[in-house]
Amino acid sequence: MIDDLRARCPLAHRIRAGLPKLPVPRRHTKVALRRAISAEIWRVRISITNYLDVMSSWCFWSQPTWAELKRRYADRVEFDWKIALMDPAGLPKSRKQEEWFYRRSGLMNRSPFMLRSDSYEPVLPEYLPANLVAEAARDLGIKDDKVRLALSHSILREGSKAIRDIEVAAEVGAHASGLDKAKLAERARSPEIEKRIRQSTVEWQELKASQRPTFLIDTEIGDRAIFSPCDCSIVATTFPRLAELRARRCCLRSGIDVECSAVVSKRWRICENETTAMRSTLASPNGV
């Protein structure tokens, strides 16, 4: 019986040929941590959704950070934005109060200019037309930020009345994107566009966030981070941290026996230093 078992052994041919035995496989294989995590970290897919209102001043001030994040992580992160309409509770009660908000936010962002309050409308419960046009432009093929940024700039910097009139907002959007004004206005008036932005507003409310912009960050394995409100540049540390955590989990699941804590802490400190430098750049007059 023993001879029979030896004959069926997958290594029998090596023994009969006088070849050395193969090394016994170990359950855990030690590898270099930096190489293991680096190989895994670039496969991590992260998505970020920016919930915003075109009329929101804080969404306006967050744009430089949003653009910088897209520049840094375009190859690893899926960027998207959705409308989260401001309700009466979040709107100023008078033009004087709105100007006070704009002075405060401008000082906090070290801006050399103050946003304009010409478009203030005390009777509007929400700012619908500009948001409708921004969403409609995406349906017509404009997938980037140019239309919503043009609308925001027109309203908050130039004092445009696009806040009330779809025709005026469509003209601004058409000029920025090259779309036909009539088609853009027609699409903005369609029921499905309003239904979509009201649905995304409900999604934002379900996050229990308090202000816009709200950044929702997800990974492919279910990690989630929500920022609202915050210093937007802090979001920059979240991408590498979530990727690190995901890489560590995959390494451990694969049986890689490594001492992670020291190196990961070092890498996190590097991420924080980069974010501090980016915050300084964005806070300067030239960065706004």
| 201 within domain boundaries | yes
Convert the pLDDT of each residue in 168-208 to its tens digit: 999 999 999 999 999 999 999 999 999 999 999 999 999 99
Rounded Cα distance, 104 and 114, in Å: 9
Residue 238 lies in a domain: no
| % of the chain exceeding 70 in pLDDT | 64
In terms of residue numbers, what domain contains 173?
47-231
User: Listing from the earlier edge strand, what are the strands of the sheet with 214-219?
Assistant: 77-83, 46-52, 214-219, 224-227
Q: How confident is the model at residue 148 (pLDDT cuts 50, 70, 90)?
A: very high
Query: What pLDDT, on a 0 to 100 scale, did the predictor assign at position 128?
Result: 93
Q: Which of 18, 70, 49, 25 is nearest to 227 (CA)?
A: 49
User: Is 91 contained in some domain?
Assistant: yes
| Burial (CB count <10 Å: 0-12, 13-18, 19+), residue 4 | exposed
The verdict on residue 118 lying in a domain is: yes
- Please give the Cα distance from 46 to 80 (Å, whole number): 11
Instruction: Write the DSSP symbol of residue 139.
Output: H
CATH of the domain at 204: 3.40.30.10
Strands (DSSP E) found in the chain = 46-52, 77-83, 214-219, 224-227
Please indicate, yes or no, whether the overall pTM of this predicted structure exceeds 0.85. no
Q: Would 87 be classed as within a structural domain?
A: yes
Q: How many domains does the chain have?
A: 1
Look-up of token digits 């309003």: 194
pLDDT digits (tens, 9 = 90+) for 251-265: 444 444 344 434 434
Closest CA to 158 of 191, 114, 202, 199: 114
In a domain, 23, yes or no: no
Note whether residue 258 is domain-resident. no
Residue 78 lies in a domain: yes
